[in-house]
Chains A and B, each alone.
Chain A
Amino acid sequence: MEGSPTRDFFLGLFVLAGLMALAYMSFSIGGLQYKGTGGLAVFATFDQIAGLKPKAPVEIAGVKVGLVKSIRLDDTYRARVDLDLDKELKLPVDSSAAIVTAGILGDRYIQLTPGAEETYLKAGEQISYTESALVMERLIGKFLVNVQDKSQSKTEQPKADNP
């Protein structure tokens, strides 16, 4: 077996397959970018981000166009979300950003809706129109309060009518 061509062939194959597995793991699954971070950096502020996390995807019409770079609190106690978008993306200045949920309990992501203006956002500018995340607990709370109010105003009604 000492240095036979067959052994060398299999060894080469092994190393190649191992490196390919590493590369697949890093680039395809892990999403390692080799082009560097030179994207379009814009930001948006929200009243409530409710579980949006850095690296969450940013989508337009369901197509991923970038990701959330960082999230912090600004001076007015609103959440400032920095986005890293594709460099080629031309985003009108009156575009809006909304935090939405994939499915009822899924991950949060940002959905951009392009506006109609002819001028485009430049790096470092703000997406001014935003729509905050819906907080499930708050919705349920409002719903329960409404139900309670109704049931109190109609005390004559039998209880079975209430959901």
Chain B
Amino acid sequence: MISRLGRWAGGVLEELGRVAVFAGRIVTVTFRPPLRAREFLDELFKAGVLSLLIICVSGLAVGMVLGLQGYNTLVRFGAANSLGAVVGLSLIREMGPVLTALLVTGRAGSAITAEIGAMKATEQLDGLRMMAVDPIDYVIRPKAWAMLVAMPLLSAMFIVTGIVGGYFVGVGLMGIDGGTFVSSLQNAVDFHDDVAGSILKSVIFGTLVGLISTYRGYTATPTSAGVSAATTSTVVLASVLVLIFDYFITALWGV
């Protein structure tokens, strides 16, 4: 029993070490020319532009439901005028970065793992190595960086569409004054306390999701079942880690 626990802990440590080495390899090739801007832009298109619709729709829906729930709760205390602050703060501090990370994990992270896994299963990665092209440089680096760059942008769009949704419900349906909504939002939100933390969170989540999805694809067992298992494990692991990291970022830096 105890020795099994020990073996398990050893396995986890070993895996962490491998991830760290993998991350180190991505970082060391980052500024090595050629910079592969073309591949990076392709990946940014896939991770960013193709996730845009789901992000905006989800943002709008989340903002609207926050507006509705917030209104119903606040109106009991006669504080419905603070709806802008409630919607804005919850979106900026929590909902925006976290939900964006979860959605992007499902939408783009899984695709990255599946793509790299399939390349591995069909021996394309070995083919690249045969041509003296480092797959980490050519395949992994653009994907990981695209994820890191796309995440804050998507999160910001999620937040802004969410605020629009909250405004629509609060002002359009519930009849709060539009100016009150916006001024309560602007008074409550501070750049250093809230917005900077939100950007920091989405950058960390972007790094996390990019790293996990590429690592899982790169280390996938080169079979159909292996690729599918790797994709599943990307979604599960990245989602759980995003939520856990979210707690610790909030606890440590208070954002």
Kindly list chain B residues whose C-beta atoms are within 8 Å of the C-beta of A8.
41
B42 within 8 Å of A (CB atoms): yes
- B40: shortest Cβ distance to chain A, in Å? 11
Instruction: Flag if B187 contacts A29 (CB, 8 Å).
Output: no
Q: Nearest residue in B to A27 (C-beta to C-beta)?
A: B191
Instruction: Flag if A32 contacts B191 (CB, 8 Å).
Output: yes
How many Å lie between the Cα of A57 and that of B187 in the bound state? 8
Instruction: Flag if B191 contacts A22 (CB, 8 Å).
Output: no
User: Using a Cβ–Cβ cut-off of 8 Å, how many residues does chain A contribute to the interface with B?
Assistant: 28
Question: If the complex has contacts A11-B48, A24-B160, are A31 and B189 also in contact, measured as CB distance less than 8 A?
Answer: yes
B4 within 8 Å of A (CB atoms): no
- Which positions 27-58 of chain A face chain B at CB distance < 8 Å? 28-32, 55, 57
Instruction: Flag if A55 contacts B159 (CB, 8 Å).
Output: no
Kindly list chain A residues whose C-beta atoms are within 8 Å of the C-beta of B186.
28-29, 31
Band of interface residues on B: 20 to 34
B94 within 8 Å of A (CB atoms): no
- B83: shortest Cβ distance to chain A, in Å? 14
Question: If the complex has contacts A15-B153, A18-B152, A21-B153, are A26 and B45 also in contact, measured as CB distance less than 8 A?
Answer: no
Q: Nearest residue in B to A21 (C-beta to C-beta)?
A: B156
- A149: shortest Cβ distance to chain B, in Å? 32
Instruction: Flag if A30 contacts B190 (CB, 8 Å).
Output: yes
Instruction: Flag if A11 contacts B49 (CB, 8 Å).
Output: yes
B65 within 8 Å of A (CB atoms): no
Instruction: Flag if B38 contacts A3 (CB, 8 Å).
Output: yes
A77 within 8 Å of B (CB atoms): no
Instruction: Flag if B42 contacts A2 (CB, 8 Å).
Output: yes
B212 within 8 Å of A (CB atoms): no
A135 within 8 Å of B (CB atoms): no
A1 within 8 Å of B (CB atoms): yes
How many Å lie between the Cα of A55 and that of B192 in the bound state? 12
8 CB < 8 A contacts A-B? A3-B41, A3-B42, A8-B41, A13-B49, A14-B153, A21-B156, A22-B156, A30-B189
Q: A: which residues have CB within 8 A of B?
A: 1-3, 7-8, 10-11, 13-15, 17-19, 21-22, 24-26, 28-32, 55, 57, 103, 105, 107
Pairs of residues from A and B, 5 with the lowest C-beta to C-beta distance, nearest first? A18-B153, A30-B191, A21-B156, A32-B191, A30-B195
